[in-house]
């Protein structure tokens, strides 16, 4: 009986994840996500990242959802201020609606409108490393 309950729970869980991924897999994602270039003065398409959407209430961490020129989701990005990476601060339970992750990049960013301080980009790529070229330019 316990096994059956667990199986049902796992099935429901994976279905919910699939539903979440379906809702964000094409641009524009549903509210509360908003286009970053309409929230702050940034280019609409950022070379290396793509077209970004974010729920403004989750700033600065995000998640930011990044799409290619065809409106397909390529990555989920978290932006973590360097000053907040300390013993007194945590980033817990960040949403990850984008589904399967192929690989992850972590790198320093000096700042930009919206996150105006040095921070770390944690990028969950939903496409292969070769397909990162879809948002290179």
Partner 1 sequence: MTLTRREILGAGGGLAAALSLPSLAVWGGEMVEIKMQGRDDGSHVWFDPIGILIKPGQTIRWSNLNPGNSHTTTAYNPTNFERPLRMPKAAKSWDSDYLLPNESFSVTFTEQGVYDYYCIPHEHAGMVGRIIVGEPEAHGWAEMIGANGDLPEEALKAFPTVEDIMTKRVVRRA
Q: Which is nearer to partner 1, 97 or 132 (CB)?
A: 132
List of residues contacting partner 1 (CB under 8 A): 40-43, 46-49, 107-113, 116-118, 121
User: Measured between alpha carbons, how far apart are the two ends of the chain, in Å?
Assistant: 54
Quote the least distance from Cβ 118 to partner 1, whole Å: 5
Q: Closest CB to partner 1 among 47 and 87?
A: 47
CB 117 within 8 A of CB 81: yes
Question: Using CB atoms within 10 A of its CB, is residue 81 exposed (0-12), middle (13-18) or buried (19+)?
Answer: middle
Reported residue count of the chain is 137
40 CB neighbour count, 10 Å cutoff: 14
In the complex, least distance from residue 39 CB atom to partner 1, rounded to whole angstroms: 12
- How near is the Cβ of 135 to partner 1 at its closest, in Å? 11
Kindly tell me which of 35 and 109 has the beta carbon lying closer to partner 1.
109
């Amino acid at each position: 009986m316990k096994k059956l309950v667990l199986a049902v729970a796992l099935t429901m869980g994976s279905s919910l994840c699939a539903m979440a991924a379906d809702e964000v897999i094409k641009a524009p994602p549903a509210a509360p996500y908003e286009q970053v270039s309409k929230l702050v003065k940034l280019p609409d398409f950022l070379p290396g990242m793509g077209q970004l959407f974010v729920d403004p209430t989750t700033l600065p961490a995000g998640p930011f959802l990044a799409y290619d020129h065809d409106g397909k989701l390529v990555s989920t990005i978290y932006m973590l201020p360097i000053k907040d990476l300390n013993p007194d601060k945590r980033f817990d339970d960040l949403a990850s609606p984008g589904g399967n992750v192929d690989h992850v990049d972590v790198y320093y960013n000096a700042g930009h409108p919206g996150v105006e301080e040095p921070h770390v980009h944690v990028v969950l790529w939903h496409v292969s490393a070769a397909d990162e070229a879809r948002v290179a330019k």
